[in-house]
Amino acid sequence: GQQLNQSPQSMFIQEGEDVSMNCTSSSIFNTWLWYKQDPGEGPVLLIALYKAGELTSNGRLTAQFGITRKDSFLNISASIPSDVGIYFCAGRAPGDDKIIFGKGTRLHILP
């Protein structure tokens, strides 16, 4: 089945640093989604992307829908302690209602 490759698996950064993570697929997607999951909670949608090349921001978060439609990127600027958590990319392939999730990037922030 379709799989999303998310990298890196985990990140350790200093507070205030910028963060970049990405997600790739072997097949094209027509929707890319980025979620954050805190411990003991369900994922929460951060950004949704619907067009190739689309660049969308949500506060300090910026995500892009790759031109090839096979990848997406999430950037977090000036990280703060509450950014700690697991970030999942997810996508929907053409003609499919299902959302496929990546394995997540676990973000740790060092004091």
Binding site for another protein (CB under 8 A): 4, 6, 30-31, 40-45, 48, 50, 88, 90, 92, 97-99, 101-104
Place of tokens 């978060």: 61
Write down the least CB distance from residue 16 to another protein, Å. 28
- DSSP-assigned letter for residue 98: P
d(CA 83, CA 65): 22
Write down the least CB distance from residue 38 to another protein, Å. 10
Write down the least CB distance from residue 88 to another protein, Å. 5
Distances, alpha carbon 107 to alpha carbons 18, 58, 79, 82, 83, in Å: 12, 18, 10, 10, 7
Nearer of residues 77 and 93 to another protein, judged by Cβ: 93
